[in-house]
């Protein structure tokens, strides 16, 4: 069973929390529900969130489907493929991000054209 519902425009996706950055995860979890008009950067969407967390096990290269918090910009990011910073095809942030969750399937995002309205909600 999924922990989160992630709505991207009309697409409904599911995600599960990870243990990569537990303090950041707790801060994001406390701020849910989160939503915003996302900017697209390659195959990444990011939007402003009212979360303030320092870098925690932060990294630039992340697995496909990663939901991460970007400490430098107080943004939540969804990665499903290459970005302008990618090396060898992996999703890569502009600067280190704290991984908090993972989408179970990103295939629906491949059809996305431009930015989108994103909403993150806790399930159960």
Q: Would you state the pLDDT for residue 33?
A: 97
The pLDDT value recorded for residue 113 is 86
pTM of whole model > 0.85? Answer: yes
Which pLDDT does position 46 carry in this prediction?
A: 97
User: In what helix (H) or strand (E) does residue 22 lie, and over which residues does it extend?
Assistant: helix 22-31
Report the chain (124 residues): mean pLDDT per 10 consecutive residues.
95 97 98 97 97 97 97 97 94 97 95 92 91
The whole-number pLDDT of residue 124 equals 76
CATH number at residue 57: 2.40.100.20
Domain extent for 14 = 4-122
Our count of domains for the chain comes to: 1
Residues 80 and 103 sit within 8 Å (Cβ to Cβ): yes
- pLDDT score for 96: 98
């Amino acid at each position: 069973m999924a922990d989160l519902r992630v709505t991207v425009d009309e697409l409904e996706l599911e995600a599960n929390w990870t243990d990569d950055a537990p303090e950041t995860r707790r801060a994001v979890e406390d701020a849910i529900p989160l939503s915003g008009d996302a900017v697209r950067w390659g195959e990444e969407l990011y939007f402003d969130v009212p979360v303030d967390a320092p870098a925690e096990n932060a990294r630039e290269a992340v697995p496909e489907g990663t939901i991460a918090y970007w400490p430098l910009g107080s943004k939540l990011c969804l990665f499903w493929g290459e970005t302008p910073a990618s090396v060898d095809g992996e999703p890569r942030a502009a600067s280190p991000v704290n991984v908090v969750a993972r989408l179970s399937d990103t295939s629906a995002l491949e059809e996305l054209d431009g930015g989108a309205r994103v909403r993150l909600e806790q399930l159960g």
